[in-house]
């Protein structure tokens, strides 16, 4: 049977699937491909790869939930392995009762039978108290806990909860000063002195991690923005933009969002908000402000071969969207059944390398490597000059502390 026929059979089969045997190998293969491109995908991006381009899964809510459960289970197993002692210790000493129960609870071990051990990745372990009892440790049934980009959950704090003794704190600060002549250049923002200020906005919080992996060497601010659903967020954004204008920079906002009735309207909503609340039109006319969507664009459907086939539940949701008629008119759709949704995750899934290139090509024209090199070569940023500044300021600091100590001693009664 050909690989293609096998894929189609997996996707179309109505029988209960063994997700770990049939689906997990393809998940790992896709993650490896994204890793080679230096991209961290979202779970939905991997889903689109398997459903739309490899015929491994059906493009349905049920299969997405199944994939989510599979990957969650495999990542929990990864955490479980981290909880027990090192692998060499397991091989040498064997498993105690607690470890056996823990690994069994996550389906990480099965009773050893010679005919089962067909994978070179699996390891044979023995019972610490009964050498005749052996288990197969299923290392190939795990996924790294951080293999997907996910910015939708996590703690939020604006305080320091790491205690240091006064001595430790002082030492760290002194070490920082001592290393500063050698490390200062790394602290200079890459966009310092650049003629442009660029931000990448995305409709989806989950995609922030993906964009961060693509732009990690360019230091571009990535902003989660659903059409300024928060006035506070809009105000903070405007303060950043205004600061860039005060510095004489031209502001360029690049936007990535879904192509569906709601997602397509985000451009209009954002532009209208900026126009009414912050009067950006004057800056726009002077070339100091520009907002541009770089994905998903309608032409990307043909360019990337993006599928329009929808889960029936999604189509029903699009039909009830109050922006559906406007969307149909804009893209010349004949009926509501022609409505479609192309998520930004699908664009990343279609061709990871090409998607990465679209993002980088949209930003790089605004960044000058020559300007950055000139900033680094500034005489004030030289190792010698910074060392002089450190010694000068430390000397001044010591004199000030001595004066404070003296005045405090003089003010002490008696």
Asked if 207 and 124 sit in the same domain, the reply is no
Instruction: Measure the CA angle with vertex 242, ends 239 and 244; round to 5°.
Output: 115
Bridge partners, 224 (sequence order): 202
**Dist. CA 254–CA 366, nearest whole Å:** 11
pLDDT digits (tens, 9 = 90+) for 7-44: 545 555 556 789 998 999 999 999 999 999 999 999 99
pLDDT of 127 above 90: no
Q: What is the model's pLDDT at position 83?
A: 75
Tell which of 141, 167, 202 closes a domain: 141
Tokens of 231: 């006035």
pLDDT digits (tens, 9 = 90+) for 180-215: 999 999 999 999 999 999 999 999 888 999 999 999
Measured N-to-C along each axis, helices 61-83 and 97-105 cross at an angle, to the nearest 10 degrees, of: 170
Average pLDDT over residues 240-253: 95
**Dist. CA 189–CA 192, nearest whole Å:** 5
Q: What is the model's pLDDT at position 109?
A: 72
**Hey, what long-range contacts does 215-223 have (CB within 8 A, 24 or more apart)?**
215/359, 215/360, 215/363, 216/38, 218/190, 218/360, 218/363, 218/364, 218/367, 219/189, 219/190, 219/191, 220/363, 223/199
Across 35-44, 153-162, 259-268, 287-296, least confident range: 153-162
User: Is 288 inside a domain boundary?
Assistant: yes
Q: Are strands 109-111 and 134-137 parallel, antiparallel or unpaired?
A: antiparallel
Kindly indicate the confidence band of residue 3, based on its pLDDT and cuts at 50, 70 and 90.
Answer: very low
Proportion of the chain above pLDDT 70, given as a percent: 89
Structural domain range at position 129: 3-141
Asked if 257 and 135 sit in the same domain, the reply is no
Average pLDDT over residues 118-129: 65
Asked if 235 and 352 sit in the same domain, the reply is yes
Query: Between these two residues, 312 and 84, which has the higher pLDDT value?
Result: 312
Asked if 196 and 120 sit in the same domain, the reply is no
User: Is 75 inside a domain boundary?
Assistant: yes
Q: What is the model's pLDDT at position 180?
A: 94
**Dist. CA 169–CA 66, nearest whole Å:** 49
pLDDT digits (tens, 9 = 90+) for 155-170: 666 678 889 999 999 9
- Number of Cβ within 10 Å of residue 233's Cβ equals 14
Asked if 223 and 299 sit in the same domain, the reply is yes
As for how many domains the chain has, the answer is: 2
Q: What is the model's pLDDT at position 1?
A: 41
What mean pLDDT is reported for the chain? 87
User: Is 176 inside a domain boundary?
Assistant: no
């Amino acid at each position: 049977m050909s690989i293609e026929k096998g894929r189609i059979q997996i996707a179309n089969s109505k029988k209960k699937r063994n997700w770990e045997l049939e689906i997990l190998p393809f998940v790992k293969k896709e993650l490896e491909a994204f890793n080679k491109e230096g991209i961290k995908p979202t779970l939905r991006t991997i889903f689109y790869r398997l459903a739309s381009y490899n015929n491994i899964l059906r493009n349905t809510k049920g299969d997405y939930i199944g994939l989510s459960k599979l990957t969650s289970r495999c990542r929990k197993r990864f955490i479980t392995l981290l909880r027990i002692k090192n692998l060499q210790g397991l091989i040498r000493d064997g498993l105690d009762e607690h470890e056996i129960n823990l690994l069994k609870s996550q389906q990480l071990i099965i009773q050893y039978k010679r005919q089962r051990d067909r994978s070179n990745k699996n390891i044979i372990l023995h019972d610490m108290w009964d050498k005749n009892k052996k288990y197969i440790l299923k290392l190939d049934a795990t996924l790294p806990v951080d293999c997907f980009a996910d910015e939708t959950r996590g703690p939020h704090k604006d305080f320091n909860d790491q205690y240091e003794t006064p001595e430790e704190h002082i030492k760290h600060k002194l070490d920082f000063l001592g290393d500063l002549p050698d490390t200062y250049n790394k602290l200079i923002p890459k966009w310092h002195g650049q003629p442009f200020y660029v931000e990448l906005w995305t409709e989806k919080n989950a995609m922030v991690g993906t964009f961060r992996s693509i732009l990690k060497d360019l230091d571009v601010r990535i902003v989660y923005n659903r059409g300024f659903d928060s006035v506070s967020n809009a105000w903070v954004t405007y303060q950043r933009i205004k600061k860039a204008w005060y510095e004489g920079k031209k502001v360029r906002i690049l936007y990535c969002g879904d192509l569906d009735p709601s997602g397509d309207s985000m451009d209009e909503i954002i532009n209208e908000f900026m126009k009414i609340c912050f009067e950006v039109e004057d800056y726009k006319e002077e070339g100091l402000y520009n907002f541009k969507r770089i994905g998903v664009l309608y032409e990307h459907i043909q360019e990337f071969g993006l599928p329009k086939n929808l889960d029936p539940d999604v189509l029903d949701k699009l039909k009830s969207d109050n922006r559906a008629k406007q969307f149909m008119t804009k893209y010349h759709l004949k009926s509501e059944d022609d409505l479609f949704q192309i998520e930004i995750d699908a664009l990343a899934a279609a061709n990871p390398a090409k998607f990465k290139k679209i993002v980088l090509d949209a930003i790089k024209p605004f960044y000058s490597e020559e300007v950055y090199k000139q900033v680094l070569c500034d005489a004030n940023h030289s190792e010698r000059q910074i060392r002089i500044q450190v010694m000068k300021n430390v000397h001044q600091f010591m004199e000030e502390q001595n004066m404070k100590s003296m005045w405090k001693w003089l003010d002490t009664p008696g």
